Chains A and B, each alone.
Chain A
């Protein structure tokens, strides 16, 4: 069945770049998403990319999509302590309005 895989932990120093990786299985996914979850909070939509794009940049965030390898990455430039959170990769199942399939989340720790 559909599956989304992410590494569970990432630790970086403040000011460095963070790269969070994700692989997915559903080749019909129309949208691929990155969400951020801070402790005790809901999910905040960070950015998303259409499946016909290779790259999307939004301020400090860069999303790269390799459709051939079904690999998605999120790069956070100049990582700050406020970026410490869990980051979830998600693919839409069955089209643009389908439910989301989430990875288990990558916990990003930013050390000062």
Chain B
């Protein structure tokens, strides 16, 4: 069974630009979660989508947004990139209970 997949693996953006990260959950999982792992800040919860709806949001500004598609895949959009947005962005999926993580997307903002 395929795990959670994320794309791209790495990307480099310039401050002020916009970026879209993608996540495909494990087949049968309806919930997708996004987390940010920035150096020195640990893992911070960003967004939770379930059945196409946003269920919860972490303490991040509105320029972090996303959506979930009918096939349960998800996008995370970050507008007006800032240097401190440089981080590993991790996506996880679940059906009920345990969350399984993808390999992450490493975003570097210069």
Contacts and interface: CB of A to CB of B under 8 A. Distances in A.
Question: Do A and B bind?
Answer: yes
A96 B45 contact: no
A42 B42 contact: no
Nearest to B99: A100
Interface stretch (B13-21, B72-80, B90-98): B90-98
Interface stretch (A14-22, A52-60, A69-77, A101-109): A101-109
A3 B34 CA distance: 19
A33 B98 CA distance: 8
Interface string B78-110: 000000000000101010111111111000000
Interface size grouping (class) on chain A: 20 to 34
A97 B42 contact: no
B8 interface: no
Contact of A96 (B33, B97, B100, B103): B97
Contact of A42 (B31, B56, B96, B104): B104
Interface size class of B (residues with CB under 8 A): 20 to 34
A41 B35 CA distance: 14
Nearest to B103: A42
A100 B104 contact: no
Given A35-B101, A102-B42, A103-B42, A96 B96 contact: yes
Given A43-B90, A43-B101, A97-B50, A105 B96 contact: no
Contact of A45 (B35, B45, B101, B104): B101
A30 B45 CA distance: 17
Given A41-B103, A43-B43, 14 more contacts: A31-B98, A35-B101, A42-B101, A42-B103, A90-B43, A93-B56, A97-B50, A98-B48, A98-B56, A99-B48, A102-B42, A102-B43, A103-B42, A105-B43
Interchain residue pairs A-B with the least CB separation, the first 6: A102-B43, A43-B101, A42-B103, A99-B45, A104-B42, A42-B101
